[in-house]
Amino acid sequence: MRNTLNRTPGGNWLIVVAVAAALGAAAYGYSTTTAGQDGTGAVPTSASVAELTAATGRDPGNPALWKQLAQAHRRAGDRTAAISALVRAARLAPGDREINAALRDLADSRP
């Protein structure tokens, strides 16, 4: 197998940027092993509401974080906060079927 990185202009630069991004994500507590299917960085699924609230404060435009915050609120039994976080996620990613389905599920369920 040929090494194509040395033949691509900027190939080594891409590796440096990828490593720097991974280190930066780790410094902020993001886990690269639990990244979403869409490639977004995500915090561990076992993260607490406080950790996820802090993560949404650092990256308020990330719908995956808002979805995870909603799941954490739901696990904690706070249905109202879960709906609020899902509404924020749905505003950021209106076409996300998973977010919309979770929002419908919570809205349809009775406390």
List pLDDT tens digits, range 38-76. 444 555 656 789 999 999 999 999 999 999 999 999 999
User: What's this model's pTM, rounded to 2 decimal places?
Assistant: 0.59
Rounded to an integer, what distance in angstroms lies between the CA atom of residue 42 and that of residue 37?
A: 10
**Rg of the chain's alpha carbons, rounded to an integer?**
17
Question: What is the dihedral sign for C-alpha 62, 60, 52, 91?
Answer: negative
Q: With contact defined as beta carbons under 8 Å apart, do 69 and 62 qualify?
A: no
- Is the pLDDT reported for residue 17 higher than 60? no
CA-to-CA separations, 109 to 70, 80, 104, in angstroms, rounded: 15, 12, 8
Sketch the domain layout of the chain as residue ranges.
Answer: 31-108
Residue 74 tokens read as 């739901």
Q: Which of 6-10, 30-34, 74-78, 103-107 has the highest mean pLDDT?
A: 74-78
Where does residue 30 rank: exposed (0-12), middle (13-18), buried (19+ CB within 10 A)? buried
The CATH number of domain 31-108, selected from 1.10.760.10, 3.40.630.40, 3.50.50.60, 1.25.40.10: 1.25.40.10
